[in-house]
Amino acid sequence: MSDSEKFEDDLIVAMSRTGEGFEPGRADQGALVAGGYERGRRRWRRRSATAVVGGAAALALVGGGAFYLTGTQAKSEGTVVAAASPAASAASGITPGSAPSTAAATKKATPVSGDEVLAAFKALLPAGQTTDAHGSGTEPPAGKPDAVGFAGAQVVFDDGQGKAAMGISITRLAENNPNRSQNTCPDRKLVPYDACATTTTADGGTLTILQGYEYPDRHVSTKWWNAKLIGKDGRQIELSEWNSPAEKDSPDSRPNPPLSPEQLKAIVTDRSWDKVVASIAEPKPIKVRDTSKEYTAKEILAVTAGLLPAGLQETETSGEGLGYANFVVNDGKGKSLVQLNVQDWSSSKDVKGELFGGVEAGPDGVKVVIRQEGGNPAMWTVDTLHPDGLRVVISSFNSGTQKTPATRPAPVLTDDQMKAIAASPLWKLKK
């Protein structure tokens, strides 16, 4: 793989990380097929009860927001970076400032090169040395002058206390893009982290700063800190850093990533990115799928509350967007996380064949697939397809979260109890 290809891959990860790209579930990819855009963005937080479906799953990942980056890449080695100053930023052609701007991007603004983006990023870093530096500009691909662009920069930074990988990405979201309103801290039952805060910016946008880990199960100690800004004008600026010279498969070089939460905020909200945002073609409205048949988290929880075995009660309830909800039950012997996906599969003929092909429907017309997946914690799943095409998937864990070690031998809910919930006639495809 070339340096430029690796850079594009790394930026794809960075761009989708907070809103879409936390660690996918062990068996999450099948659910994405049904979910399209919105379910795709939830894949970080759902180790959902679904099967992996080969090529169909790969298609869903594309629909879930894996952006292909364009623009040229600039690379420099061994650069010493002083603390941000007017002189340093002048060299980049991009002027840094202290506050975000709401200026809207123009359709035919002058593209910004990868060299300029990289220089602007370096100018905002504290004093230190950068190596393995790359930049990606907003030049549209050949033959596609109106294509939406992306920009970013990636460096290995050393302030004298250890090398740390970091990267920034800049893009724009269409006015009707649901991601504009989905910049929040993840559910701690699904994604463990040390600290997270979401604030409203001066222009009415949102800023989420998360101090978490490269692997949510923390099987290695590498930390991942991230700041994600979504401005009122649709700009999405995301900065990630690690306490290691590489995102993965590299020993930790320092206790924490070098940039503090305050420094992360200062960089992503700096006005030097106005020029980059303005150089990105105005994104066209996205095709938003019909959600009129979807269940909200509140509706899912209302149905399941009445289907739980006697003595069990939903606690720690949560759910974001449509088609997903989770809660915790406790029979007095330990907590158990329960997750549900409720999805309209009435038109998903090919995928239904892959997941439920050969499965005989019961007297009620419901097809049922039961799986028990080991691990620590273990996950038990009942996957159902109702005659009207509504798919209801329920998973239960032998822990109160999907990442912390098991606190009991088995989940609170048995397979039969989960089947009674998922196959209940109370679930009806909305008309």
Q: Which of 131-145, 178-192, 407-421 has the highest mean pLDDT?
A: 407-421
- Measured CA to CA, the distance from residue 334 to residue 341 in angstroms comes to 23
Q: What is the 3-state secondary structure (H, E, C) of 352-387?
A: HHHHHCCCCCCCCCCEEEEEEECCCCCEEEEEEECC
In the predicted model, is pLDDT for residue 369 greater than 60? yes
The pair of structure tokens assigned to 260 is 């503090």
Backbone angles phi, psi at 253, to 5 degrees: -110, -10
- Digit-coded pLDDT (tens) for 11-47: 333 333 333 333 333 333 223 222 222 333 233 223 2
- Measured CA to CA, the distance from residue 153 to residue 90 in angstroms comes to 18
Confidence of residue 352 (pLDDT cuts 50, 70, 90): confident
| pLDDT score of 248 | 87
Confidence of residue 350 (pLDDT cuts 50, 70, 90): low
In the predicted model, is pLDDT for residue 163 greater than 60? yes
The region that residue 244 occupies, defined by phi over 0 for left and psi between -120 and 50 for alpha, beta otherwise, is beta
The region that residue 204 occupies, defined by phi over 0 for left and psi between -120 and 50 for alpha, beta otherwise, is left
Complete domains list, the chain, with CATH: 3-20+65-278 (no CATH), 297-422 (3.40.1000)
In the predicted model, is pLDDT for residue 349 greater than 90? no
The pair of structure tokens assigned to 170 is 């800049």
Comparing 68-82, 122-136, 194-208, 406-420, the range with the smallest average pLDDT is: 68-82
| pLDDT score of 145 | 64
| pLDDT score of 93 | 52
| pLDDT score of 56 | 24
Distances in whole angstroms, Cα of residue 115 to Cα of each of 74, 138, 380: 5, 11, 50
Backbone angles phi, psi at 107, to 5 degrees: -70, -30
* Mean pLDDT within 245-273: 95
* Mean pLDDT within 296-314: 96
The pair of structure tokens assigned to 294 is 């979807």
| pLDDT score of 379 | 96
In the predicted model, is pLDDT for residue 130 greater than 90? yes
Name beta bridge partners: 212.
Answer: 224
- Measured CA to CA, the distance from residue 281 to residue 118 in angstroms comes to 20
pTM of the model as a whole? 0.67
| pLDDT score of 112 | 93
The pair of structure tokens assigned to 318 is 């949560």
Comparing 60-74, 142-156, 321-335, 369-383, the range with the smallest average pLDDT is: 60-74
Contacts of residue 184, Cβ cutoff 8 Å, sequence gap at least 6: 198, 206, 208, 320
* Mean pLDDT within 143-167: 88
Confidence of residue 394 (pLDDT cuts 50, 70, 90): very high
| pLDDT score of 80 | 52
- 361 vs 74, higher pLDDT: 361
| pLDDT score of 354 | 82
| pLDDT score of 282 | 84
| pLDDT score of 308 | 97
In the predicted model, is pLDDT for residue 266 greater than 50? yes
| pLDDT score of 289 | 74
pLDDT > 70: percent of the chain: 73
- 358 vs 291, higher pLDDT: 358
In the predicted model, is pLDDT for residue 310 greater than 90? yes
* Mean pLDDT within 98-108: 45
Confidence of residue 408 (pLDDT cuts 50, 70, 90): very high
- Digit-coded pLDDT (tens) for 48-102: 222 222 222 222 222 222 222 223 334 444 545 444 433 334 434 555 454 444 4
- 66 vs 152, higher pLDDT: 152
| pLDDT score of 415 | 96
